[in-house]
Amino acid sequence: MQKTFLIATHNEKKKNELLRILSPLGVDVKTDKELNLTLTEAEENGETFYENALIKAQSGCKESGLPCVADDSGLMVDYLAGAPGVYSARFAGEHGNDKKNNEKLLKLLKDVPESERTARFVSVVCCVFPNGDIISARGECEGKIGYEEIGNGGFGYDPIFMVDGKSFGELSAEEKDKLSHRGKALLQLSEKLKDYMSL
Amino acid sequence: MQKTFLIATHNEKKKNELLRILSPLGVDVKTDKELNLTLTEAEENGETFYENALIKAQSGCKESGLPCVADDSGLMVDYLAGAPGVYSARFAGEHGNDKKNNEKLLKLLKDVPESERTARFVSVVCCVFPNGDIISARGECEGKIGYEEIGNGGFGYDPIFMVDGKSFGELSAEEKDKLSHRGKALLQLSEKLKDYMSL
């Protein structure tokens, strides 16, 4: 699998994760900067992770002429009927940030007992080819929402997402990639890409 | 437009609304009981209102051999990133009910100021024909979540959904149908059906 793939994301921390996970899998991934491109920010107005990942990958493929990989991901909290879901990044409003999102979620779940704090991180990754072909994969990671932010690693909801007594914010990059929704989705994607490219 | 349509829903109150709105629009609608059928309950495992409405209409059409109309609808609360959405009926769990759903939502929004209590009711209606054709329509109704249940009319979240200072639970059937998400979706559907049937 020699082909160069473009990664389409404007989130630097997510870009690093995508590069970190995909590179050792034999997928040659480049950012728009490395390719001297500036991608326009596609409007993520889909109702599902799949739709949003597809919007981003299609837009990146069209602008670059290269096969393009994009991820859409979020946190689904059972007590909130799957929210914040596709709105995870904007949960505390357009001018929010990770800290405000986490604070809002912790406040909403303030009186909710441990047994009802179940949640999952979901990642859908899509690769769109210039001929229009689409390869996608989905990864999930089950956990619980904690009671406070713990750890300085990761990003987004990582500090309040607990798996086996540890928050995602406490894990090393390697530990996180092994467990995480994005790690699982990208591993599956890379296997599908290998099959597809060897056709 | 002479053809008989089957309405697929297991919710008696929703069935009444569908019959009440569609009949005067010249659509000849029948329930499964009127047609001496017993439809199996289709599993609503879609991620969107459209997917769920389609699942129900396709299942009803397949079992009856008739064109089948189904609705999927729910409440999207902005503060909760669009939740409960497709999970509206099950918001307080599988053994919940309208009262428990309303109580849960009011509690979650307890300290949320009026300006951030915006919400919308959404209804997507689908009609599936035995040849596989699909006609769909979407209706929305903007409102705010109140602070307590008001009124004995309607069903679901109606008593806490406020439009122009009144809850949906306070409206007469005629007032509700004129404003409501389902009224708008069904009006649009009936117009599309008329065009489709006269082809």
pLDDT interval class at B125 (50, 70, 90):
very high
B82 near A CB under 8 A: yes
Chain B residues touching residue A85 (CB < 8 angstroms): 81-83
| Res A2: pLDDT | 58
Of the residues B72, B98, B158, B177, only one is catalytic, namely B72
| Res A199: pLDDT | 65
Strands (E), B18-157: 28-30, 68-77, 118-128, 134-145
Q: Taking the model in full, what pTM does it have?
A: 0.84
Q: Is A72 tagged catalytic? A: yes
**Which amino acid appears at position B24 of this protein?**
P
| Res B2: pLDDT | 57
Q: How far apart are CA B199 and CA B196, in angstroms?
A: 5
SS3 content of chain B, % helix, strand, coil (to 5): 40, 25, 35
Chain A residues touching residue B87 (CB < 8 angstroms): 81-82
> In this prediction, what percent of chain B has a pLDDT beyond 90?
74
pLDDT tens by residue, A51-109: 999 999 999 999 999 999 999 999 999 999 999 999 999 999 988 999 999 999 999 99
A48 near B CB under 8 A: yes
Contact A83 B83 (CB under 8 A): yes
Asked if residue A5 lies in contact with residue A69, where contact means CB atoms within 8 angstroms, the answer is yes
The tokens describing B148, both together, are 């307590």
Contact A81 B81 (CB under 8 A): no
If you search the block for the tokens 């290269």, which residue do you land on? A66
Asked if residue B110 lies in contact with residue A107, where contact means CB atoms within 8 angstroms, the answer is no
Distances (CA, A) of B126 to A80, B88, B144: 27, 19, 27
Assign A129 to helix, strand or coil: coil
- Does this complex have an ipTM over 0.85? no
Find the helix or strand (DSSP H, E) in which A137 lies.
strand A134-145
Q: Is the pLDDT of residue B177 over 60?
A: yes
A163 half-sphere exposure, CB direction, 13 A CA radius: 19
A87 near B CB under 8 A: yes
If you search the block for the tokens 């001018």, which residue do you land on? A95
- Pairing mode of beta strands A28-30, A134-145: unpaired
Q: How far apart are CA A84 and CA A197, in angstroms?
A: 35
Find the helix or strand (DSSP H, E) in which A90 lies.
none
The CA angle B29-B86-B9, to the nearest 5 degrees, is: 20
Distances (CA, A) of A31 to A9, A28, A69: 8, 10, 10
CA nearest neighbour of A76 among B124, B143, B85: B85
Distances (CA, A) of A179 to A78, A155, B104: 20, 15, 32
Q: Environment class of residue B147 by beta-carbon count within 10 Å: exposed (0-12), middle (13-18) or buried (19+)?
A: middle
pLDDT tens by residue, B48-89: 999 999 999 999 999 999 999 999 999 999 999 999 999 999
Find the helix or strand (DSSP H, E) in which B171 lies.
none
